[in-house]
């Protein structure tokens, strides 16, 4: 593993609880044990890149609130799923990483996880929130429900 690409909403913190109310942003907390995972990645010199969709300032505020501003290497904020694909390719180029060495983690099986899988990245489906109450993990996709499980997965990624 040479590069960690992560979704933001419902992957780094529970943004469902915001219910669209920006005033609640101060209540966001990084998911338990995620900091442990990032510590391991930083120790292994694996850059952490956020690939998300939405408003840049809003997404950056969330990252700041959960204490990751100094932890992440970069953040790409797409306006659409199509733009997410473009950014993913751009990230591969900018880091000069072959896609097999990239881990893509997200809560949406049919969005970022499918995207990562399509390109041949290692994929983790973080089963949290409204999109994840049912459904099977596609072949080759690691399905987890906590960062404790992510931590256990790291040696095989």
Instruction: Label each residue of 124-136 as H, E or C.
Output: EEECCCCCCCCCC
Q: Does 51 bind Mg ion (CB under 5 A)?
A: no
In this structure, what token pair is assigned to residue 102? 């990239």
Q: Does 10 bind Mg ion (CB under 5 A)?
A: yes
Nearer to Mg ion, 122 or 128 (CB): 128
Nearer to Mg ion, 11 or 97 (CB): 11
For residue 49, give the nearest of 68, 30, 27, 25 by alpha carbon. 68
Site residues for Mg ion, 77-116, by CB under 5 A, read 107
Find the shortest distance in angstroms from Cβ 108 to Mg ion. 5
Rounded CA gap, 23 and 68, in Å?
19
Rounded CA gap, 49 and 121, in Å?
14
Taking CB under 5 A as the binding criterion, the range among 8-16, 19-27, 34-42, 53-61 that sits at the site for Mg ion is: 8-16
Which residues bind to Mg ion, rule: CB under 5 A? 7, 9-10, 107
């Amino acid at each position: 593993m040479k590069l960690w690409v992560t979704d933001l909403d419902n992957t780094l913190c529970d943004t469902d609880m915001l219910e669209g109310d920006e005033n609640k942003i101060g209540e966001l907390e990084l998911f338990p044990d995620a900091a442990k995972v990032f510590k391991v990645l930083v120790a292994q010199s694996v850059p952490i890149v956020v690939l998300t969709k939405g408003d840049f300032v809003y997404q950056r505020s969330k990252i700041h609130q959960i204490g990751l501003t100094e932890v992440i290497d970069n953040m790409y904020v797409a306006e659409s799923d199509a733009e997410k694909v473009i950014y993913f390719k751009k990230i591969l180029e900018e880091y000069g990483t072959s896609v097999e060495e990239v881990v893509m983690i997200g809560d949406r099986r049919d969005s970022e996880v499918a995207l990562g899988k399509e390109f041949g990245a290692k994929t983790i489906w973080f089963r949290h929130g409204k999109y994840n109450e049912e459904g099977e993990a596609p072949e080759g996709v690691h399905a987890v429900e906590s960062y404790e499980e992510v931590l256990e997965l790291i040696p095989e990624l």
